[in-house]
Amino acid sequence: MRTVRFGVIGCGFISKLRHFPELELNPQAQICAVCDADESRASKVARKYEATVYTNYKDLLECAEVEAVVICLPPHLHPEVAVYALERGVHVMCEKPMATSLIEAERMIDAAERTGTKLMIGFNQRFVPSHTYAYQLIRSGAIGRITGFHSVFGHSGPEHWSLDGNRSFYFNSKQLPFGVLGDLSIHKIDLIRYLLQDECTEINGILAHTGQKQADVYDYSVLSLRMAGGAVGTITSSWSYALQEHTTIVYGENGNLYMECDDQFPLRMMLRNQDAVTYKIPAIMAYERQREERSGVIHGFIDAIVNDKPVPVSGRDGYMALKAILAGYDSALTGKTISL
Ligand SMILES: NC(=O)c1ccc[n+]([C@@H]2O[C@H](COP(=O)([O-])OP(=O)(O)OC[C@H]3O[C@@H](n4cnc5c(N)ncnc54)[C@H](O)[C@@H]3O)[C@@H](O)[C@H]2O)c1
């Protein structure tokens, strides 16, 4: 069986929660090298996987002979590291947001195209069972033409998970300039693009500081979007909810799809004049623990490399979601509707 030699750059919260366990579970992955500016973090995971430790990503890419890297760094570093890897023929799975500007995102896409290497963006929510089933139901025409949507992603804030707590890059406008928009709203923008197979053409944004006293970035965002196909809807994100919320509703001419609105039934379809149809599938917070491939991100990335297939979430997907976020930010600051 063909195996892929992997390096992981950034040994913080998300790589430990998701990428290391998924690489470990995948028989086609070999964790060969790890990198973190904090050597003790890198050494801790390296011991477990018998990997070589680096504190500088360039050294890893020059010396470790890896075929692919997973980039889990503060977002302002993603483009520099990704382009360095892609230009050396190394495939890249980069966490979201892929960059903090469209020019840098374009550089990443261009580097992947020029070198024939794969660039995937870590929008894991596409692989959540309620979302993949809803995608199929929408494609089958079950709820008819889509007219609207409403999606919410909120929790108590990244200080509760980032290894740097209150001092984390999440609260630093130089490292993540658009705050909660780039952390949470961007997931739901990608989800709506995926579910509707449609692009946002117009956006309005409202931003607020509601709870994160230490943040110099906004922690609450409400976006209203118009899609090319005519649907309109809202995406709300917050770092100041006491409890996590992950709900999405898609409205069609014949009925509604409710995703993650009920723990027992993560997907519910209500059609006009009919009883509700429920789907007993793992809910968003449980699904990664119940499937061998877990979130599906690493599984999809390795499948694309080994079988030379397109990655399931492309650089262009990352670019389009970033474009919408930047437009939402611009709208909130100027008070104007932004056309994309
Ligand atoms: N897809 C998702 O659901 C999801 C969830 C959480 C985070 N993320 C993304 O993952 C990325 C990392 O987030 P996190 O929550 O793991 O953050 P984190 O703060 O826990 O970890 C970041 C790590 O990067 C290291 N680092 C910083 N600068 C470095 C450098 N120059 N060289 C090497 N290492 C360096 C830090 O020491 C730290 O260990 C972000 O882009 C974030 O948006 C995605």
pTM for the whole structure: 0.96
pLDDT at residue number 279: 87
- Ligand 1 centre to CA of 10 (Å) is 6
CB atoms within 10 A of CB 166: 15
In angstroms, rounded to a whole number, what is the distance separating the alpha carbons of residues 66 and 72? 16
Secondary structure class of 177 (helix, strand, coil)? coil
Instruction: Tell whether ligand 1 has an atom less than 6 A from the beta carbon of residue 253.
Output: no
pLDDT at residue number 86: 98
pLDDT at residue number 290: 62
Q: Which of 8, 9, 13, 60 to mutate to test the pocket of ligand 1 (most atoms within 8 A of CB)?
A: 13
pLDDT at residue number 146: 98
- Ligand 1 centre to CA of 107 (Å) is 21
pLDDT at residue number 111: 98
Token pair for residue 150? 């409403």
Instruction: Tell whether ligand 1 has an atom less than 6 A from the beta carbon of residue 318.
Output: no
Q: Please check whether residue 186 is in contact with residue 322, taking contact to mean a CB–CB distance below 8 angstroms.
A: yes
In angstroms, rounded to a whole number, what is the distance separating the alpha carbons of residues 133 and 139? 10
In angstroms, rounded to a whole number, what is the distance separating the alpha carbons of residues 206 and 218? 10
Question: Count of residues for the chain?
Answer: 340
Taking the CA of residue 17 as reference, the ligand 1 atom at the shortest distance is 16
Instruction: Tell whether ligand 1 has an atom less than 6 A from the beta carbon of residue 295.
Output: no
Secondary structure class of 331 (helix, strand, coil)? helix
Instruction: Tell whether ligand 1 has an atom less than 6 A from the beta carbon of residue 75.
Output: yes
Residue from 232, 180, 185, 181 nearest 211 by CA: 180
In angstroms, rounded to a whole number, what is the distance separating the alpha carbons of residues 199 and 220? 23
Task: Judge residue 151's burial from the number of C-beta atoms within 10 Å of its C-beta, 0-12 exposed, 13-18 middle, 19 or more buried.
Answer: buried
pLDDT at residue number 213: 59
Helix 78-86 × helix 102-115 angle, to 10°: 10
In angstroms, rounded to a whole number, what is the distance separating the alpha carbons of residues 43 and 50? 10
pLDDT at residue number 9: 98
Instruction: Tell whether ligand 1 has an atom less than 6 A from the beta carbon of residue 22.
Output: no
Which residues in the chain come in under a pLDDT of 50? none
Token pair for residue 337? 């509707």
CA dihedral 37, 76, 285, 241 (to 10 degrees): 110
Taking the CA of residue 182 as reference, the ligand 1 atom at the shortest distance is 43
pLDDT at residue number 291: 66
**DSSP 8-state symbol, 314:** B
Give, in order, the Cα–Cα distances in Å from 276 to each of 151, 263, 268, 270.
20, 15, 7, 5
Residue nearest to atom 7 of ligand 1 (CA): 14
